[in-house]
Chains A and B, each alone.
Chain A
Amino acid sequence: MTSDVKLLDINNVAIGIERRKRETLVLVREANFDVNYGEMVGIVGESGSGKTMICRSIIGTLQRRGASVIGGEVLFEGLDLRTINEAKWKSLRGKVIGYVPQSALAGPNPVLTIEKQLAEALSQVDGEGSMKNRSKELLDLVKIRRVDTVMKQYPYQLSGGMRQRVMIACALASRPKLLIADEPTTGLDVTVQSQIMELLREIRRDLGTAIILISHDLALVDEVCDKIVVMHAGATVEVGPTSSMAKPRHPYTVALNSSRIDVAKPGGELITIKGNPPSVGQWNPGCRFAERCDYVQPDCLVGDHPALSGKKGDHQSACLHADKIGKI
């Protein structure tokens, strides 16, 4: 755990997808954040802001969708993931970097019992003891009770929350250093959601796993994460420790905050964000949030998307007029 090498460093990453006539559509540009060992980082943003794309770049599954990292660096323990081959990926993906996909209900293989499912994940990693005992250990780890019954069951016999626990168990089979959970509680009940969050917190505490939690629920991320990354139209617009993010320094985060219903008065005014996020390939010059921004100034509309201010690791904002926020 050297202090200068981060577990993960996303450095000015751009992701594009190739279309016909060799035209490249840029999905993500100016993505910037890092993850320390054992840290829990939340990524928030509207649908289409590039959250999932960033994750795919970390587990190397962009190519399957015809997309690729076209700029910047994705550094995992100092290793540039852009340069490695498929063999190297196989030693990282699902081993050092675990992934819990978005849809818990579609996640587990429907024709495998939970035992076989776990055995498949465990067969990829070395370990001691019989497969069965190791599978049971994993289920214990994700707080599944009645382990013996569940081992014989098929995914369809389990509730959404249980299925998501099984998915997390599979991802933990290799005791990864980094676990990526892509909207792990979408479509699940609030009660199940709070149990899954509690589980992630315990995994982080007991195993020291760093976790990236992707969500569009700011209130949720606010509660469980050490650091928050806000994405808008493919760019990191604000990043900072959770404590200091209570005072947002980017108008988009301000707007997201004010659309939270948990802090709104019943029937009171909900401030919604103007318009829709700009479509991919239709980004205007200057700041991509400018069109929807209450603080927009003439200089926001020209040049490149503003870079994040300050130093990595501090509270950074990609707003040219961050000092004006809260003063209008």
Chain B
Amino acid sequence: MSKRDVLMEVENVSVTFGSGSNSVEAVKNCSLTVHEGEPIGIVGESGSGKSTLARVMAGLQPPSAGEIRFRGDNVFKGNKSFQSGNRNQVQMVFQDPYGSLNPQLNGLSAVAEAVRFHAKVGKDEAEQKALELLERMGIGRLDALKQPRQLSGGQRQRVSVARALSASPSVLLADEPTSAIDQSAQAQLLKLFLGLLNDGLAIVLVSHDLGVIRYLTKRVYVMKDGVFVESGDTETVFNDPQEDYTKMLLASIPGELGKAARAKLKK
């Protein structure tokens, strides 16, 4: 793992919303590193700042302090991000599969539009490429021609992933991609993510669902009130959590995973 090249570095990043007495520091002095092809997880409750951090990493929100580097280049110059290219290299998949697709575009057009933008190719070629991407996400031609409202939540989420992939990114930021879809759709999406990892894509998975994090990631950061309270090898954090907060999070998972943690807490 250590031999892999560093892809993204987040160094002492803080994000403050508002000013004066009303200001809220959503992210406080967080640092993390993403290597090529590495799956990492950021976990925490609502309001812990994990989505804000993801937005900063995607270049959508400038940090109040600190630095984000992509392959050594500073992502933000002032309030503008990715001025020296590389915008396409970091792509994001959002939480809400219902809100993130244009309701008037079918899956094929949504993805083809992104392909044309990123690859600068003609319409036919873009559609061909879009179909391939959708196919890879398990969306056949028939479903690709449907409007978002005719697709299930899981299918919509896979269209969103296909759209993100159209930029041929090297890192995918997924903000709670599985929390709005049901269990079998979730399994399907995670399977696709595993495939993407095998192809060398790095994935930053933001979630409150520790089951998903454990399944997919190798390294995890536990976030509380804007701060990383614990981080490390996913396996280690799950088997031997150090912080009370992490233990509490683990014990909240329904089913087998939480059982062991609950038993430990009771002791």
Check B183–A256 contact: CB distance below 8 A: yes
In chain A, positions 32-88 with a C-beta closer than 8 Å to chain B are 46-48
What CA separation (Å) do A46 and B98 show in the bound complex? 17
Question: In the assembled complex, which residues on chain B have CB atoms less than 8 Å from the CB atom of A192?
Answer: 45
What's the Cα separation between A217 and B209 when bound, in Å? 12
B24 in contact (CB, < 8 A) = no
Closest partner residue, chain A, to B255 (CB atom): A219
Contact A266 B255 (CB under 8 A): no
1/0 contact string of B98-127 vs chain A (CB within 8 Å): 000000000000000000000000000000
Q: How far is the CA of A118 from the CA of B197 in the complex (A)?
A: 50
Which positions 234-253 of chain B face chain A at CB distance < 8 Å? 234-235, 248-249, 251-253
Number of residues in B with C-beta < 8 Å to the partner?
Answer: 38
Q: B179 on the interface (CB 8 Å rule)?
A: yes
* Partner pick for B211 among A256, A261, A272, CB 8 A cutoff: A261
Which one, B8-16, B77-85, B86-94, B187-195, is touching chain A? B187-195
Report the nearest B residue to A191, measured CB to CB: B252
Complex partner residue of B187 from A187, A189, A259, CB under 8 angstroms: A259
**A261 lies within 8 A of B254 (CB):** no
Q: Which of B18-73 contact A (CB under 8 A)?
A: 45-46
A302: CB under 8 A from chain B?
Answer: no
Scan residues 187-238 of chain B and give those whose CB is less than 8 A from a CB of chain A: 187-188, 190-191, 194, 208-212, 214-216, 234-235
- Specify the chain B residue showing the minimal Cβ separation from A44: B183
**Which residue of B is nearest A259, CB measured?**
B187
State in angstroms the CA–CA spacing of A160 and B47 once bound together: 11
Contact yes or no, B45 A187, CB < 8 A: no
Which residues of B have CB within 8 Å of A222?
A: 254-255
Q: Are A262 and B256 neighbours in the complex by a CB distance under 8 Å?
A: yes
A residues within 8 A CB of B128? Answer: none
Residue total for A at the interface (Cβ-Cβ under 8 A): 37
* B194:A267 contact, CB within 8 angstroms: yes
Pick from B184, B254, B256: contact of A255, CB under 8 Å:
B184
Complex alpha-carbon distance, A262 and B258, angstroms: 8
Assembled-state Cα–Cα distance A256/B208 (Å): 22
Q: Is the CB of A216 within 8 A of B183?
A: yes
Give complex CA distance A193, B254 in Å.
9
Q: In the docked arrangement, what's the CA distance between A197 and B210, Å?
A: 18
Question: Are B211 and A271 in contact, CB atoms less than 8 angstroms apart?
Answer: no
Counting chain A CB atoms within 10 Å of each CB, the highest count among B153, B215, B216, B258 belongs to: B215
Query: Interface 1/0s, chain A 249-271, versus B by CB < 8 A?
Result: 00000011001111110110011
Closest chain A residue, CB of each to CB of B96: A187
User: Are B184 and A261 within 8 A (Cβ)?
Assistant: no
Question: Which of B46, B184, B255, B257 contacts A273, CB < 8 Å?
Answer: B184
Give Cα distance in the complex from A272 to B194, angstroms.
13
User: What distance in Å separates the Cβ of B256 from its nearest Cβ neighbour in chain A?
Assistant: 5
Chain A residue with Cβ nearest B155: A276
Determine the distance from Cα of A187 to Cα of B179 in the docked complex, in whole angstroms: 7
Question: Assuming A266-B234, A267-B194, A272-B187, is B254 touching A216 (CB within 8 A)?
Answer: no
Query: Which residues of chain B are near A186, meaning CB under 8 Å?
Result: 180
In-complex Cβ contact of A190 among B180, B183, B252 (8 A): B252
User: Which one, B191, B235, B248, contacts A270 given CB within 8 A?
Assistant: B191
A266 touches B214 (CB 8 A): yes
Assess A219 versus B254: contact at CB under 8 Å? Given A187-B179, A264-B215.
yes
Given A219-B255, A259-B187, A260-B255, answer yes or no on A187-B212 (Cβ-Cβ < 8 Å).
no
User: Roughly how many angstroms separate A58 CA and B156 CA in the complex, as a whole number?
Assistant: 31
B191's closest neighbor in chain A, by CB? A270
Q: Which residue of B lies closest to A279 (CB)?
A: B150
Asked if residues A262 and B211 are in contact (CB atoms below 8 Å), the reply is yes
B216 neighbours in A (Cβ, 8 Å): 266-267
Please give, as numbers and ranges, the residues of chain A lying within 8 Å of B209 by CB-CB distance.
190
B186 interfacial by beta-carbon distance below 8 Å: yes
Q: Which of A178-214 contact B (CB under 8 A)?
A: 186-194, 197
Q: A189-B45, A220-B254, A276-B152 are in contact. Are A46 and B235 (CB under 8 A)?
A: no
B183 close to A47 (CB less than 8 A): no
- Bound Cα distance A272, B154 (Å): 12
Please report B residues at the A interface, Cβ cutoff 8 Å.
Answer: 45-46, 152-153, 155, 179-188, 190-191, 194, 208-212, 214-216, 234-235, 248-249, 251-258
List 20 contacting pairs A-B, 8 Å CB cutoff, sorted by A. A46-B185, A189-B46, A190-B252, A191-B208, A191-B252, A194-B254, A218-B183, A223-B254, A259-B186, A260-B255, A261-B187, A261-B214, A261-B215, A262-B211, A263-B255, A267-B194, A267-B216, A270-B187, A270-B215, A273-B184
